[in-house]
Structure 1
Amino acid sequence: MSIKYEIQSIKNSQGTGKEQHFVRIFEEAPMSAQQLESHIQSSCSLTKGDVEATLSALRECMIHDLSHGHRFYIPSIGYFSLSVDLDLPEGKSADKVRADHISVRNIKFRPDASMLQEVKMNTRFERAKFSTKSKEHTEEMMLENIKAYLATNTCINRRAMEIHFGLRQNTALKWLKHFTEIGVLRKEGARNSPVYFMNK
């Protein structure tokens, strides 16, 4: 099964005036614990109970080793290690750092070379026929769209903006906030599900 992707871009990347392109892939939901147990059981002699017990013991081993400063290696899979933060109060010198200024930020993973190579060999990509990127509109275009919508509907909300104008949630909210702030729209209703009317 091919992984769907789309190409997006960042305008004026790093203030250089150039447009930087990047790939966004659409990740599928991970297997549930039950699906993973069934999948492993079907490919070897372990039962679901065996798999569950093994995964639980593996988790305990990882917690023990990582919390004691060890890297944790799963053969043929890869290495896990800690990523930490330093929260040093402003003005305090580095030689005054105490243990309580350091905290765990995340767990890093570095795949085994053979595993990474196999994933690369088995991965296929396919350009998506849809996009998650909001359509670009000028203020004038968006205002005309909203007026046209409100000519046949009593009010408009964020969901309607997304569906009818091809916007992502954050973009729809930004436009609604903008037109409310400049007095074009009037916001009413519950805080978590407001509706907007055209100001007369």
Structure 2
Amino acid sequence: MSIKYEIQSIKNSKGTGKEQEFVRIFENPPQTDRQLESHIQDNCSITKGDVQSTLMTLRDSMINELSHGNRFHIPEIGYFSLAVNLDMPDDKPMEKVRGDYIRVRNIKFRPDAELLNEVKRNVRFERAKFSSKSSQYTEEELLAKIKEYLTANNCITRRDLQQNFGLRQSAALKCLKHFTEIGILKKEGARNSPVYFLNK
């Protein structure tokens, strides 16, 4: 199955005044524990219980090795290692750095070359027919669309803005808050599911 993607851009990238384009992929939810256990059981001789025990033992081994500052390698998959930060007061001199100023930030993963190459050979990309990015309107354009919508409907909601005008949730909420604050819309209904009317 192809991975869906869209092209987005960052305006004034790094203060250069130029627009930088980048690819955003739409990731599917990860498989569940049960799906993984079933997949392994169906493709080899071990049972789901064996899979659970193996994964828990692997987890314990990883915790032990990483906690001792070692890299952890899973054959034919890759290496796991620690990423750390220095969390020290600004006025402390560097020679006063203590171990308790160092924090684990994350766990890094570097895939084995063959794993990475296999993924590259198998992956397929397809441009999405939808976008996660809000449609762009001027304030006047958006207000005109809201008024037009309200001539045919009694009220408007955040969900209506998302579905009919192509806005993301954050943009829709910001828009409704703005038009309410300047007196064009009035807000009624429950706090967690308000509706909006033209303020006549």
**In which range does the TM-score fall when normalised by the shorter chain?**
over 0.9
Aligned ranges 1:2-151 → 2 under 5 Å: 2-151=2-151
Letter in 2 for 1:143: L
Overall identity of the aligned pairs, in % = 69
Distance 2:91 2:190 in 1: 45
Post-superposition offset of 1:86: 1.9
Post-superposition offset of 1:46: 1.1
Post-superposition offset of 1:195: 2.4
Post-superposition offset of 1:167: 0.8
Counterpart position of 2:189: 189
Distance 1:50 1:169 in 2: 44
Post-superposition offset of 1:109: 0.5
Count matched residues: 200
Distance 1:37 1:46 in 2: 10
Distance 1:96 1:181 in 2: 52
Counterpart position of 1:179: 179
Letter in 2 for 1:61: S
Post-superposition offset of 1:118: 0.7
Q: TM-score, normalised by structure 1?
A: 0.93
Q: Which runs of 5+ in 2 are unaligned?
A: none
Distance 1:75 1:123 in 2: 22
SS in 2 for 1:7: strand
Post-superposition offset of 1:140: 0.7
Post-superposition offset of 1:198: 2.1
Between 1:81-90 and 1:44-53, the stretch displaced more is: 81-90
1:90–1:193 Cα change, 3 Å = farther
Counterpart position of 1:154: 154
Q: TM-score, normalised by structure 2?
A: 0.93
Post-superposition offset of 1:194: 2.6
Distance 1:152 1:56 in 2: 58
Distance 1:88 1:189 in 2: 49
RMSD after superposition: 1.4
Q: Which runs of 5+ in 1 are unaligned?
A: none
Post-superposition offset of 1:185: 2.0
